Amino acid sequence: MTLTVTDLSIARGGIPVLEGLSFVLKPGRALILRGPNGIGKTTLLRTLAGLQPSLSGRIEGAEDQIAYASHSDGLKPTLTVTENLDFWASVFGTKDIQPALDAFKLNDLSDRHAGNLSAGQKRRLGLARMLVTGRPIWMLDEPTVSLDREAVALFADTVRTHLGQGGSALIATHIDLGLEGEVLDVGANKAKPKPIEDFDGGFL
Amino acid sequence: MSIATKANALWEYANPRKFLATSERVLPFFWITSAVCLFVGLIWGFFFTPDDYKQGSTVKIIYLHVPAALMAINCWLMMLAASLVWLVRRHHVSALAARAAAPIGIVMTLIALATGAIWGQPMWGTWWAWDPRLTSFLILFLFYLGYVALWEAIEDPDTAADLTSVLCLVGSVFAVLSRYAVNFWNQGLHQGASVMRAGAVTGADTEEKVSNIYFYPLLVCIVGFVLLFVALLLYRTGTEIRARRINALLARERING
Amino acid sequence: MIALLLRDLKLAFRAGGGFGLGLAFFLIVTVLVPFSVGPQSSLLSTIAPGVLWLGALLACLLSLDRLLALDWEDGSLDLLATAPLPLEGVVTIKALAHWITTGLPLVLAAPVLGVLLNLPVPGYLWLVISLLIGTPALSVIGTFGAALTVGLKRGGLLLSLLVLPLYVPTLIFGAEVARRGAIGMETQTPLLMLAGITAATVALLPFASAAVLRINLR
């Protein structure tokens, strides 16, 4: 599934943050999203995931193809690791959670309540969720936060396997994951303020 | 001019700048005419109509009570219309007009409730009775409060406009439902809506009607209240537009750092 | 969808899930009523249907701010919104889970508490029937309120302010069924109205709730 973004403009809280953004994400490829804090990387990912509308531009090939991982993992502290994954597996209509447990070395933790996990373990569980969605395009927002070096390597391996199976990934991160893929620096697409004459007609 | 171009011309006022320019031009007209109508209507009603044979001079409170009650309901209807326009056509002025109208509606509802209580004291011997009409206005008041509270609680203006619009829509349905529920719950002391019945106008109605002597000054008062509402609404909407623009300018300044 | 329902039920019954809080609140409100109005059994039996309905309504209200807020805080709502479930279905399931964990226990507890308030014998059946038919509407309307206020810090009080006026018709007809039942009057008209409100809110309000939730998620 190819994701094509054409001349996209997005806004956060009604204020344009990025404009004129175009890229193509082909199967088997990863795209690393870079740019200073607050530039709108999270907003871009949320827009592509369909959580918020764009101001203008086109997004093609995103419908029902995207698995999105935000800063928070959507884990329930009183459910076990297995129960958490099982839930998302049945929501996305997949059954087998074993590959996900294997990929992030969660087998030993499978009966622990998510609330008792360390921050890094929670993050691993949150990322394991991507595997049970069965969706080809991964959108990851700072996926390596609170992961140790070993877990980062696990994650990079998992993404590589995913790409090898014809999936693709759009990753907002500042560390080098050693992935094959292009880097997209959105700093150049920072929205320019509108001239004052335009502004008078509307509000923003 | 065809209907289509007329409609387009109307939507032009959805442009904030155009709205401000036009409202500033027509505002003095509304202020003056409403003041004249209220002055004439109230003086006429209070001092130049006879006392009611049954209710005495207390009846004259209708010159405040009835127009305020009418405006309390019409204000909500106006908010409903403005909310629909916002949801369908996304005109900011429309959302801001709905926001600007709500406090006016609250005040009108309070006037209706207070004058009703003051009137009820000599007539029914009690300040408050759980009469369907009074109760419905109390519920309307609660709806207004919730609506205003939701506007105040949400920071992002477009989100606030969206959410309050949906609340206004859903609230309208429930307000009508409450009206029927309350009617069912208590049959009530309040007289029927005697002003709006055709019989009241033609004078062919029974004794519960508002007779012509009272009706004409009342009509003037109602017109005065409508004009006052329009004037307040235009004025407050203008204020909301300016406040929104200030926030927008500040936000832009923050981005450009 | 069923997975979501099962998960919500599981969460409610696990430690810290808040199951039983509404029930305890209902009990306390009912116990406090005789302290405030006096112990005369004739007075208590007159007001019992209304008090029990109001108690159930408040207990329902109390649990609303957890209904969507927990899923919002831990990011589950974002993920559910990108999942292949329609958001209308998600809010319906949420309301259903709320009803099963809050409304249904209240229905079952109400006759027991009726004893404390000297509810007349014919009233028990009608109290249970009216609550059984009316509480789903309370859950669905409450879900709408929760969806409106989900993104707000300290949204709880605002939630009550928004939801209580919406509860008026349900309360009026529900309490009327119970009151008429208790004194042996015919209950058909208010019962039909109550059932109508529940049917209409269950059928239509999820669309409004989902729309509002989408706005809050962006």
Does B139 lie at the interface with C, CB-CB under 8 angstroms? yes
Q: What is the average per-residue pLDDT within B231-255?
A: 85
**In a domain? residue A74:** no
Q: Do C216 and B163 touch (CB under 8 A)?
A: yes
The average pLDDT across B101-117 equals: 93
Average pLDDT over residues A186-199: 65
Nearest chain B Cα to A38, which residue? Answer: B255
Which residues of chain A does C2 touch, with a Cβ-Cβ cutoff of 8 Å?
90
Quote the mean pLDDT of chain B. 82
Partner residue opposite C74 with nearest CB, options A49, A75, A92: A75
pLDDT at C18 over 90: no
Strand order in the sheet with A3-12: A15-25, A3-12, A56-60
Closest-CA residue in chain A for C217?
Answer: A51
Question: Does B3 contact chain A (CB < 8 Å)?
Answer: no
CATH code, domain with A176:
3.40.50.300
| pLDDT value of position B17 | 81
Q: Please give the pLDDT value at position B198.
A: 40
B22 in any annotated domain: no
Measured between alpha carbons, how far is C93 from A171 in angstroms, rounded to an integer? 32
pLDDT of residue B206: 43
Per-residue pLDDT averaged across A133-162, rounded? Answer: 87
Residue A79 contacts C where some CB pair is shorter than 8 Å: yes
Q: State the smallest CA–CA distance between residue C165 and chain B in angstroms.
A: 6
**pLDDT at position A193:** 65
Note down the domain range covering A176.
1-65+168-204
Across the interface, whether the CB atoms of B16 and A203 are under 8 A apart is answered: yes
- Comparing alpha-carbon positions, the chain C residue that sits nearest to A74 is C76
Chain B: touching chains (3 or more CB pairs < 8 Å): A, C
pLDDT band at C91 (very low <50, low <70, confident <90, very high): very high
A13 touches chain C (CB under 8 A): no
The answer to whether residue A30 sits within a structural domain is yes
pLDDT number for residue B199: 37
Query: Which stretch of C16-25, C48-57, C125-134 has the lowest confidence by average pLDDT?
Result: C16-25
With an 8 Å Cβ cutoff, the interface of chain C facing chain B consists of 144, 148-149, 151-152, 155, 158, 161-162, 164-166, 168-169, 172-173, 176, 189-190, 193, 197, 205, 208, 211-212, 215-216, 218
Walk across the sheet containing A181-185 and list its strands. Answer: A66-69, A137-141, A168-172, A30-34, A181-185
Q: Note down the domain range covering B237.
A: 27-256
Residue in chain A closest to C6 (alpha carbons) equals A87
User: Is residue A131, in this structure, part of any structural domain at all?
Assistant: no
Query: How many structural domains is chain B composed of?
Result: 1
* Chain B residues touching A193 at Cβ < 8 A: 252, 255-256
Q: Please, which chains are in contact with A (at least 3 CB pairs closer than 8 A)? A: B, C
In a domain, A39, yes or no: yes
Structural domain that includes position C140: 2-217
The least confident of B126-135, C53-62, C86-95 is B126-135
Q: Is residue A20 part of a domain?
A: yes
* CB contacts < 8 A (B, C): 75
What does the block give as tokens for C136? 């789903």
Residue A184 lies in a domain: yes
Rounded Cα distance, A30 and A137, in Å:
10
Residue-wise pLDDT tens digits, B135-146: 889 999 999 999
pLDDT at B182 over 70: yes
- Write out chain A residues lying below 8 Å of B89, CB-based: none
Residue B136 lies in a domain: yes
Q: Are B61 and B46 in contact (CB under 8 A)?
A: no
Which of A33-37, A83-87, B209-213 comes out lowest in average pLDDT?
B209-213
Closest-CA distance, A130 to chain C, in angstroms, reads 11
The model's pLDDT over C127-170, given as tens digits with 9 standing for 90+, comes to 999 999 999 999 999 999 999 999 887 788 899 999 999 999 99
Interface list for A 18-77 with C (CB within 8 A): 46, 49-53, 64, 66-68, 70-76
Q: Poorest-confidence range of A75-89, A146-160, A170-184, B137-151?
A: A170-184
| pLDDT at residue C188 in the model | 87
In C, minimum Cα distance to B140 occurs at C165
Across the interface, do B178 and C169 touch by the CB < 8 Å criterion? yes
pLDDT-derived band at B148 (thresholds 50, 70, 90) equals: very high
pLDDT at A203: 58
Q: B125 CA to chain C: closest CA distance, Å? A: 25
Whether the complex's predicted ipTM is more than 0.95 is answered with no
What value does the mean pLDDT take over residues C104-109?
Answer: 92
Q: Does any domain span residue B152?
A: yes
pLDDT of C209 strictly over 90:
yes
Whether residue B30 is predicted with pLDDT greater than 70 in this model: the reply is yes
Q: How many domains does chain C have?
A: 1
The 3-state secondary structure of chain A reads CCEEEEEEEEEECCEEEEEEEEEEECCCCEEEEECCCCCCHHHHHHHHCCCCCCCEEEEECCCCCEEEECCCCCCCCCCEHHHHHHHHHHHCCCCCCHHHHHHCCCHHHCCCEHHHCCHHHHHHHHHHHHHHHCCCEEEEECCCCCCCHHHHHHHHHHHHHHHHCCCEEEEECCCCCCCCEEEEEHHHHECCCCCHHHHHHCCC
Q: Give the containing element (helix H, strand E) for C84.
A: none
pLDDT of residue B150: 93
Question: Mean pLDDT: which of B7-21, B201-215, C176-190, C197-211 is highest?
Answer: C197-211
- Percentage of chain A lying above the pLDDT 90 cut: 0
Query: Who among A14, A193, A199 is closest to B156 (CB)?
Result: A14
Contact check, Cβ <8 Å, C4/A87: yes
- More confident call, A17 vs C88: C88
Contact check, Cβ <8 Å, B17/A13: no
| Sign of the four-CA dihedral C69, C21, A83, A95 | negative
**Of B183, B187, B186, B203, the residue nearest B195 (C-alpha):** B203
Stretch A139-154: mean pLDDT = 86
How many domains are contained in chain A? 1
- Residue of chain B with shortest Cα separation from C153: B153
Q: pTM for the complete prediction?
A: 0.89
Please give the structure tokens belonging to residue A150.
């070993």
